[in-house]
Structure formats: C-alpha cells, structure tokens
Amino acid sequence: MSRLWRNILLLISTRTMFFGFLERYYLATIERRFSGVDPAGMIKLRSLLIPKTDKIQCALKRFGSENDGGYLLFKDIRLSTDLLSFGIGDNLDFEKEMAPFVNRILAFDGSIDKLPSDVLGLEFRNKYVGDITSINTVCITDIIPEMKSDYLILKIDIEGAEWRVLNQLSDTHLERFDQIVGEFHGLSSLKSNQEIMERIHILERLHAKFTLINSHPNNWSPYRIVKGVPVPDAVELTFLKNELFSNFFDPGLATEVLQLNKPCNPLKPEHII
C-alpha cells in the first residue's frame, strides 16, 4: 500500500473517531440536560402540535412576509373583526396585509419606541404584554375589554412570554377569538415534567375551543430529539374557532393542499414535526 493511501486511511480513521466522540458527547449532554423529562410527556406535547388536517390549506391565506414574519389564517375573516397584535419588532408586514381585512388593529411591543412605518387603522402602544399590569407591561385581561368587536383575532409572537399570557385567558376570553395565530417557543428546551405539563395544559385548553389548522416549525430555532422524541423548539400555530371550522370543513370537498408555509430562514432546510 502506498504512503499516500496510508495517509488517506489514517485521516479518515482519525476524522471518524473525532466525529464519533462528538456524537457520544452530544448525546450524553442531551441525556443529562433532559434527565428529568418523561418521554410520555414529550410525546403528548408533540401530538398537540400536529394539525387536524392539512387539506384545509385551500381555505387559508398567507399574511405578511414570505418567510419569517408571515402567518397563515383562515381567509374568510368576518366583517368588523379587530386584530390584537403582540410583538412587532422591525416587521409590520403581517399587520399591513391584515389592515384591509379588519376594522381595527391594536398592537403592543415594549422593545420598540415607535413603529417602523405607519399602518392605517393601527394603534400602537410601546408596552410588553404579560400576566401582570405594571409600568412597562399590560396584562392581556386588561386589554380584551377595550376591544368592542364581537370578533377578534390574536397574533402573538413575544419570544416565550406567550405561555404566561395565554394562561391568563379564561374560557370567556377565549370564546371572543375567531383565530389565534403565533409562534410558540421553547418546546424542546423544557427540562422538567412540570414545565411540559404546563405547556400541555395550555395547548389542551386551546384545542378544546379551537381546531389547529396549521403548524409550521421555525427553522431559525433549534431542533432536538428529547428522550427519543423529535421536537422543534419554536412552531408557528394557527387555531380556528371550532364552530367556524365545522361550518367550513367538508372532507369530501377540501382536497387541495397548498404550500403556503415557507421556511423562516430560506437558507436552511425546513424542520418537521
């Protein structure tokens, strides 16, 4: 065997051993990090992220950016609907495209002093939305009474605070919303069964009154296999009020499946659920 081939084989062997070590180290780190997690809880949590059907996409419309910042909604928005938007940052594309379809938009974001641009019919308040009302934060239960319309849509993208906010909503509050859409964070970062059960409880309450009609992982976020269960860390979810779903959906008619979801990061492959 020539010296060249010996060197090539040695290099391959060394690289194989190195990557094998990295794989074992990664798996051991993940195992330690999630040692307090019950796989059954993760399986249940993951099941709540799967939409009832993908055939309803023919009745959906994408509002906002083509990639990150765009969301899918049931396109038959009722007249005189108001939109609550929590989390703006530097992207107003969703609110701009929603403006012609709604009567009023009330937007909150404490991380910016003013909007990046004007949107007709949008009122902005530079406060965070949370589970309490304070100098810089307003509780969602203090916001909803301001909305006079019988029909509301909630868009929520507040980097993990959505769990605390949604947990404040009573059944009466939830019944005011036709649709709830947003990004749900930290799904593969939970380190205890209590955290998992808290997320499950909130999602089950939503599933009781709404039908999950779209689920799309954000590929900017990590993707982990926790105790054998593959879970993306952040997922865009769209919930439609059960009665609206029942009135529309006919499995014999809704057969068209569109590709309305787009990768949040167009330079990376999509995550899957």
pLDDT of residue 246: 84
Nearby residues of 114 by Cβ (< 8 Å), 6 or more positions away:
124, 126
Mean pLDDT of the chain: 86
pLDDT of residue 63: 97
Check pLDDT > 90 for residue 52: no
Q: At what angle do helices 39-47 and 193-209 cross, to 10 degrees?
A: 20
With CA atoms as reference, report the closest residue to 64 among 88, 96, 34, 89.
96
Whether 178 and 149 have beta carbons less than 8 Å apart is answered as: no
pTM: 0.85
Compute the distance between CA of residue 42 and CA of residue 195 in angstroms, rounded to an integer.
11
What is the tens place of the pLDDT at every residue in 172-199?
999 999 999 999 999 998 888 999 999 9
pLDDT of residue 11: 57
With CA atoms as reference, report the closest residue to 235 among 93, 48, 94.
48
pLDDT of residue 5: 59
Other Cβ atoms within 10 Å of 86 Cβ, number: 23
Compute the distance between CA of residue 263 and CA of residue 258 in angstroms, rounded to an integer.
14
Whether 208 and 196 have beta carbons less than 8 Å apart is answered as: no
pLDDT of residue 248: 75
CA atoms within 13 Å, Cβ hemisphere of 50: 9
Check pLDDT > 70 for residue 6: no
Check pLDDT > 80 for residue 249: no
What is the tens place of the pLDDT at every residue in 101-138?
999 999 999 999 999 899 999 999 999 999 889 999 99
